[in-house]
Amino acid sequence: MQFGIFGVGDISPDPTTGYTQSEAERISNLIKIARRADEVGLDVFALGEHHNPPFVMSSPPALLAHIAALTERIVLSTAVTLITTNDPVKIAEDYAMVQHVAKGRLDLMLGRGNTVPVYPWFGKDIREGVELSLENYNLLHRLWREDVVDWEGKFRTPLQGFTSTPRPLDDVPPFVWHGSIRTPETAEQAAYYGNGFFANHILAPNFHFKPLVDLYRRRFEHYGHGTAEQAIVGLGGQAFIAKRSQDAINTYRPYFENYPMFRGSKLEDFMAGTPLTVGSPQEVIEKVLTFQEGFGDYQRQLFSVDALALPVDMALEQVELLGTEVVPVLRKEMEARRKPGVPDAPTHASLVKAKYGDAEPRRLRPNPNRGDNLSGTSPYQDSAPDQAARFPGGLR
């Protein structure tokens, strides 16, 4: 079971002081939070792609690569990578690069996004969002698994003899989660490929996303990847923790009730009706254990702990409490309740082991006739005799 934090780098005024972080401060603070998460033993740090103000996370691969250099063990991920408005070729290359920089500590979550204006900004039509997401991931899947790709589809120019570079580390692509809150086609695609499915279990009523998770589990089994109980499921969560429950409520209330999305709402109503937990470490533990009861055994639990204009010191304290007082208990309790045969979340090491065992990973074999036009170098840097033996017609 993996535990971690996720966010989208939102910026808004602190309702208790009126202070608003600059973009530079917010980005710097996200790095501090990631480092603290690594230090306290959390498993995952994830950032979601957003292109509209007041969010700063327009380029997750750039920031994740920097964080990779500053951390030791934590898995870096995206809370969403927009599979609809990004070119799958660029996704393949950007995240393979981060995978190398992070030495395998990378996976990503793909989603359609829910901000309407983003589509035309990138030359896309939101009415084609589902079709875009399906076609683009089908291509991404191939780009990471085939050294040479010939491809033609509806939404981008064809590819002929194309090799995405760099190739995935150890010939194993980053593990992919498909995130959705309303799209059965996304759950179906995740199940078809045997990928993970992530339900952003916040904001909506408790267990609102269970039908999608159940659909994914059934189809995962249908496609022969394992039983429904062995499907790879992740959930979101939202929490604010303090040693004393009332202190947590009193501190969090102004941030929650003055945030634009929740303005006019009552904190206690959200605590009662949604996955939001505000209280002591024990109360957070008890609420999360209900997720396991409702959704079944799952592999990844991410928490939103730094949104809603929380000052960075407060956010760092949340990470500390989560990593030292909440997660250790949840690990023990959820493991004790987990049914036999339910797998752990895939990691780079486990995927390499599953594919190659103790053997060396396969070396890439790109198209020998598509070297660099300027330098004249070929994709192979072997000796000339080896090249001649492999390609009797010569390299052009």
**pLDDT, mean of residues 358-385:** 67
Residue 284 falls inside a structural domain: yes
Task: Name the nearest CA neighbour of 347 among 80, 72, 44.
Answer: 44
Q: Please tell me the distance from the alpha carbon of residue 49 to that of residue 298, in angstroms, as a whole number.
A: 24
Alpha-carbon gap, residue 107 to 75, rounded angstroms:
7
Predicted confidence at residue 43, as pLDDT, reads: 98
How many domains does the chain fold into? Answer: 1
Contact 197, 232 (CB under 8 A): yes
Q: Which residue in the block uniquely carries the two structure tokens 């303005």?
A: 263
DSSP secondary structure letters along 352-369: HHHHHTTSPPPPP---TT
How confident is the model at residue 377, as a pLDDT? Answer: 65
Query: What pairing do the DSSP bridges indicate for beta strands 175-179 and 44-48?
Result: unpaired
Q: Which residue has the higher pLDDT, 185 or 203?
A: 185
CA distance 382 to 74: 36
Cα separation, 234 vs 91, in Å, equals 22
* CATH number, domain with residue 295: 3.20.20.30
In the 8-state DSSP scheme, what is residue 387? H
State both tokens at 238: 């939202």
Partners of 46 in beta bridges:
6, 77
Q: Which pLDDT score, from 0 to 100, does residue 392 have? A: 42
Q: What is the pTM for the complete model shown?
A: 0.92
3-state SS, residue 276: coil
State the chain's mean pLDDT as an integer. 92
Which of 188, 238, 176, 239 is closest to 213 using CA atoms? 188
DSSP code at position 168: P
Give 194-214 pLDDT, tens digit per residue: 999 999 988 889 999 999 999
Range of the domain at 220: 2-365
Share of the chain above pLDDT 70, in %: 92
195-200: which pairs have CB atoms within 8 A and are 24 or more residues apart?
195/232, 196/232, 196/233, 196/234, 196/299, 196/300, 196/345, 196/346, 197/231, 197/232, 197/233, 197/234, 198/109, 198/233, 198/234, 198/235, 198/236, 198/300, 199/233, 199/234, 199/235, 199/236, 199/295, 200/236
The answer to whether residue 383 sits within a structural domain is no
**Is 394 contained in some domain?**
no
CB 84 within 8 A of CB 120: no
Which amino acid, residue 5? I
Q: Which residues sit opposite 183 in a β-bridge?
A: none
Residue 358 domain-assigned?
yes
pLDDT tens digits, one per residue of 310-335: 999 999 999 999 999 999 999 999 99
pLDDT at 254 over 80: yes
Lowest-confidence pick of 32-36, 92-96, 239-243, 260-264: 260-264
Q: Domain for residue 382, yes or no?
A: no
- In sequence order, what are the residues at sequence separation of 6 or more whose Cβ sits closer than 8 angstroms to the Cβ of residue 383? none
Q: For the packed helices 184-193 and 210-222, what is the interaxial angle rounded to 10 degrees?
A: 30
Helix ranges (H only) for the chain are 23-39, 60-70, 88-101, 118-121, 129-143, 184-193, 210-222, 245-257, 267-273, 281-295, 312-321, 327-337, 348-356, 384-390
Give the model confidence (pLDDT) of 104-152 as tens digits.
Answer: 999 999 999 878 889 999 999 999 999 999 999 999 999 999 999 999 9
Residues 6+ apart with CB under 8 A from 269: none
Extract the tokens encoding 345.
Answer: 């979340």
Q: Is residue 391 part of a domain?
A: no
What is the 3 state secondary structure string of 64-133? HHHHHHHCCCCEEEEEEEECCCCCHHHHHHHHHHHHHHCCCCEEEEEECCCCCCHHHHCCCCHHHHHHHH
DSSP category for residue 338 = P
Nearest Cα to 107, choosing from 50, 64, 137, 170?
A: 64
